[in-house]
Amino acid sequence: MNTRNEADKRVFELLREKFKLFDGVFGASDEILGAIESGIDIEMRIHGVYQTARTTEQIQSAFDEIQRELDEQIQINLQQTRRHLLDHFDEDVTSLLKFQQNETTTTLSQREKWLQSLIAYELDLKNISSVFKIPGYSAPCTFNWQESQKTGAHFLREDDPPVFSIIKQAIANNTPIAELHFNYSEYEHKISLIESFIGASGWLSLSLFEIKAFEEEQHLIFAGLTDQGIALDCETCEKLFQLPASIVSTSLSPPSFETIIHPHCTSIVSEVERRAESLYETEVEKLDAWSDDLKIRLEKELKTLDKEIRDNRKKATASHSLNEKLQIQQSIRNLEKQRAQKRSALFEEEDRVDAKRDSIIEKCSNSLCPQSSLTSIFQMRFKVI
Q: What confidence tens digit (pLDDT) does each residue in 101-124 have?
A: 444 444 566 777 788 888 888 888
What was the pLDDT predicted at 218?
A: 92
Q: Which of 256, 224, 250 is nearest to 239 (CA)?
A: 224
Q: What average pLDDT score do residues 275-280 get? A: 78
Task: State how far the Cα of 278 lies from the Cα of 371, in Å rounded to an integer.
Answer: 20
Residue of higher predicted confidence among 47 and 174: 174
What was the pLDDT predicted at 155?
A: 83
Share of the chain above pLDDT 70, in %: 78
Task: State how far the Cα of 209 lies from the Cα of 294, in Å rounded to an integer.
Answer: 42
Backbone φ, ψ for residue 378 (5° rounding): -160, 160
Q: How many CB atoms lie within 10 A of CB 269?
A: 16
CA distances from 61 to 43, 114, 172, 181, 190 (A): 17, 43, 51, 62, 53
Model confidence pLDDT, tens digit, residues 185-213: 888 888 888 998 999 999 999 999 999 87
Strands 178-182 and 245-250 come out as: antiparallel
Band of pLDDT at residue 182, cut at 50, 70 and 90: very high
Q: What average pLDDT score do residues 74-82 get? A: 63
Q: What average pLDDT score do residues 35-63 get? A: 72
Band of pLDDT at residue 3, cut at 50, 70 and 90: low
Residues in the chain: 385
Beta strands in 63-160 (DSSP E): 141-142, 154-155
Task: State how far the Cα of 2 lies from the Cα of 216, in Å rounded to an integer.
Answer: 26
Q: How many CB atoms lie within 10 A of CB 52?
A: 10
According to DSSP, residue 38 is labeled: -
What was the pLDDT predicted at 34?
A: 45
What was the pLDDT predicted at 380?
A: 93
Task: State how far the Cα of 329 lies from the Cα of 85, in Å rounded to an integer.
Answer: 72
What was the pLDDT predicted at 348?
A: 81
CA 143-144-149 angle, to 5 degrees, is 120
pTM: 0.53
8 A C-beta contact, residue 200 and residue 384: yes
According to DSSP, residue 185 is labeled: G
What was the pLDDT predicted at 20?
A: 47
Q: What average pLDDT score do residues 347-367 get? A: 76
What was the pLDDT predicted at 315?
A: 85
What was the pLDDT predicted at 48?
A: 79
231 in the Ramachandran plot: left (φ > 0), alpha (ψ -120 to 50) or beta?
beta
